Amino acid sequence: MIRLLSEENFLKSLFIIQSKFLRKLASFVFFVLLWYIIAAVINAPLILPFPHQVLIRLIHLCTKADFWLSFLFTFIRVNTAFYISLLLGFFLGLLSADFSFVKDLLEVPLSVIRTVPVISFILLALFWFSSDIVPVFVAVLMSLPVMLSACEKGFEKNNELKEKLFKAECAGFTGIKAFRYIRFPIAFPSVYAGAEASFGLCWKVVAAAEVLSLPKMAAGAIMQKAQVHLETADVLAVTIMLVFVSLFFQKILTKIRLSSILYKSV
């Protein structure tokens, strides 16, 4: 009986996975066909090339060492900005949750960062830093409020958390032990959500900043040069590659989260 139930659950999960895959595949095919139709109606490769033309250019770019080297440097900038914003957001969010004066102190600058357009920060940063530093600085600036707010929300001392901390204190769990076994596990979903959002934002901001700052090796610089030379297919090819690389590493983040959840359950 148990064996039959397990087989039935396996078949159900397999059916759900197949259904999700088919829906995603259908969505992909639909938008590619829509792209073909719009490109055929416009009939101007300079404005919108056909998908197969973009694919050919992407394959051609992938054969060049400079293309991968540029993406490597972009990846390094994204990760540098992400880890800086992760660490700063984590500790500042924790302090904001514990001390109201820290929250009040950060409220004005965070509000300014949220409201000022990213292009303004990029242009200002061009006066202050070298072209290699500008994308990292701007990405940290734009992703920090997201990470900080998520961590602050996660570490916020609500009634449930206060009750658990009180019970932990009675049992001798204080300081680092209480943080490790109570506060951080409770805050983890919110911290992870902030990290995921910050990581995706870092990719977008770094690419945009590279287009304007033009570092020697950068995916954004390739897009800018292609735009200047009116190579629309190259711009789209690099954009598609940026999307795929970003999604790939976001999937890795998801796997890390699932692994940590499974580890805690064991």
Residue 249 is part of a domain; what is its CATH number? 1.10.3720.10
Q: What are phi and psi of 150, to 5 degrees?
A: -65, -45
Domain assignment of residue 235, yes or no: yes
Is residue 2, in this structure, part of any structural domain at all? no
Is 76 inside any structural domain?
yes
Return the residue matching tokens 């940290």: 140
Residues 6+ positions from 266 with CB-CB distance below 8 Å: none
Residues 18 and 3: their CA atoms lie apart, in Å, by: 22
Please name the amino acid found at residue 122. Answer: I
- 40 domain-assigned: no
Q: Calculate the average pLDDT of the chain.
A: 81
Instruction: At 49, give phi and psi (nearest 5°).
Output: -75, 165
CA-atom Rg of the chain in angstroms: 23
Instruction: Give start and end residues of each alpha helix (H) in 156-231.
Output: 159-170, 176-178, 184-213, 219-228
Q: Is residue 179 part of a domain?
A: yes
| Low-confidence residues in the chain, pLDDT < 50 | 1-5, 10, 261-266
Return the amino acid letter for 213: S
Domain of 141, in residue numbers: 54-265
Residue 112: its pLDDT value, please? Answer: 87
Kindly state whether residue 213 falls inside one of the protein's structural domains.
yes
**How many domains does the structure of the chain reveal?**
1
State the Cα–Cα distance between residues 215 and 163, nearest whole angstrom.
52
Residue 43 lies in a domain: no
| Token representation of residue 24 | 């995603």
pLDDT of residue 18: 63
Residue 133 three-state SS: coil
Domain-embedded: residue 92: yes
